[in-house]
Structure 1
Amino acid sequence: MMPRPAQRARVLGARLGAGALLTLLASLMFAGLMGSGIAAAAPAPTTDDTVRVFGTLRNGSEPVAGVKVDAKDGAGAIVESATSSNTGTWEVNVPPGNYSVVIDKTTVPDGVEVQKDTVAVAVVQGSPRPVIFLFGAERSANEVSPAEELTRLAIDGLRFGLIIAICGVGLSLIFGTTGLTNFAHGELVTLGAVVAWFFNVKMGIQLIPATILAIVVGIGIGILNELGIWRPLRRRRSGLIAMLVVSIGLALVMRYLILIFFSDRAEPFDDYQVQKQIGSGAFAITPVNLWCIIISLVVLVAVAVMLQKTRIGKAMRAVADNRDLAASSGINVDRVILFVWAMAGGLATLGGVLFAMSELGGRVQWEMGFKLLLLMFAGITLGGLGTAYGALLGCVIVGLLVQLSTYWIDPDLKYIGGLLVLIIILTIRPQGILGSKARIG
């Protein structure tokens, strides 16, 4: 006999509570509830409530050392000062507000000409700001051509799009195999970066092995999500709308628990903070950004090969095409979906670390995954919901559009492009580039 509505609600609530408890318990265990991690949850003194403003002074390819840099407020008073190191790097920490960052010309070495010695900076809480000063002779208006600048933005857009794809492929596969639109996927991205930060900063593990450990944790979190929440809901035949609402609630719970037990400020990794550009002109790039592109390409190619050549990959595509037909063909659908969740958790974790390193200046923010979620949805919708290759193509296109848009609009507004892509695609071609007009199952 079917339970009455009140009984169904109580059972559903118990299932959801148990699953959420398992997921959050694992995330807290690995993200800061042990030892010194508890201290990170305590309110920070007001003296630490500052934002990092930084840069590297270079005269051509040569670093400029020993130069004093002052951060001045609106009244012209010096708030904080720093001196460039042997590598030309400098850094000040100031409260949020509007500043003029000024080079003290009396400290500039002989033979070095300063072209631009004052930069206005709007400092926002949680957003480290790089500052660029120009040295050398005055440039002609045509020295940096529009083609060169667009080439730089295109390379940066490729990097950004590949990182969105790393995070979004798992989201697309979850939709393809279960029909679930998982709004908590952004928090998996944040959790991955937070766990890697915990291993790197609190436990003193170098960032690369810390990231590998974080990926293992992310896989475990994905498995707990499936076993503790989504599989019980599917077995109770919960509707997709109800599951979507559950994912929104889970996202809110995870996001604010990360805020409580991590920090409301951007926290840096210990490694790879100082980077020297390699290459020149339109193809100048930092080693971190270059490795982000290489790692993203290798991982995405590996995912594509897995989908095409392995038994589990073929089973995943079969379940995505028609779950009932796949089950009648002898495929263990539950095992396939469990593998999808595990892979989605691992990819989201890796994507979170790459996003923090390349896009956020090597710092972790408690809302970073939420900010990326819109672009993930825009990418997988553009490519075709439920298709891994569509997610890859769509996310790369969205990354390119977002970065190229900064040629015409303020960089702080660049994420609006993702929203515009989402609206246009849903209006003109809802199935996306590689999606079919009608999906079965």
Structure 2
Amino acid sequence: MPILSNPPGSLLLRSFRHRNFRLFFTGQFISLTGTWMQSVAVSWLVYRLTGSSMALGLVGFASHIPVFLFGLFGGCLADRGNKRAILIAAQAAAMLQALTLAALTLSGTANVWLVVSLATFLGLVNAVDMPTRQAFVVDMVGREDLHNAIALNSSMFNSARVVGPALAGVLVAAIGEGWCFLVNGLSYLAVIAALAAMRLPPSQPSCGSGSVSGHVGQGLAYAWDDRPIRSILASLVVTSLFASSYMVLLPVVVNTVLGHGAQALGFLMAATGVGSVLAALLLALRQKSRGLSRWRIVSGLGVGLVMLAFAFSRTFWLSAFLSMILGFCLIFFFAASNTMLQLRSPDAMRGRIMALYSVTLVGMAPFGSLLAGAAASLLDAPTTIALAGGLCVAGVALSTVLDRKPGQEQSASRPC
């Protein structure tokens, strides 16, 4: 059935005609709701234990630096191995991390260094899980519906981002952080069951039996030689590095600038998620990838400009509105970048290109977390967010100018 002839509802949900994707979507939504609950609870626990913005930055660094260091090896593993088996193992490991954190917190023995250690372990899991999960999408829906599936995945991720923080804000305020960690640990059972129930053709790894370092080098060389991929990754580096200050310093802003508590923190994170869902749904309704490059740049510039406005806000409801706009710009920028990278990636290289996406998207965040924490301890949280927003605008603008060099043509067969 030609997609162009379908009504808007069919366009939006066309990836749901694939049974495996329906299973994946349902399991991931439940699991990610728990993940976002844990994200809010960890931030509040660390701030409650230490009262330090630097400690928040340290935990953010610990949870993301493994993706930067080992993400490319995780992508190579995805290209060489059985993606479903890898994902099931990764989800089981993440469940163990959440249950351990719950036990420590509920027993009253949690401290910031134990939280940092467990955050590092989860980062190692994500170094494998993230590129594998991204590369697995095409196995569920094929290339025809890949564009739609990526957008629906983003909508699912950010719908959980609305529900999870809102639930976490209520639970943390009522009974404490430990119960959020316990709920997250149990939520992994849903995605493990969904992966196990899928009907997939026999696994056909796309890499040979050469060395891991050789395959990693091939992925790096391919990304560097493809100018559009190189430009997309460069702008992702800048945005991920500096936009992370918003999430890292949000507990400080809520507490010291806006004068609210954990429930308000959950509400602002949920508002960010609402904007993100709207952006993802808008992307899912697009029938073609043409024009995505232009809108990717506009949304990237929007990230920095909205961060500047957020830094000057002293009203809770204005901050909530700006958080929603920031969420829209962020997810449109990231999801558009993801789509363009996947459409330009050959199947044999997909895991490694998605690993580079994960490294630039998540792996730069630890450095941004440390920078944000250090800058906020020297200046203050709003000033740090304002500086980071200005750097986002400058970085995206510079990468756009460099990408517009005359005499170079895009080599992809799919227009962006």
TM over 0.5: no
In our comparison, the structure showing a higher alpha carbon Rg is 1
TM-score by length of 2: 0.36
TM-score by length of 1: 0.34
Higher strand share: 1
Higher helix share: 2
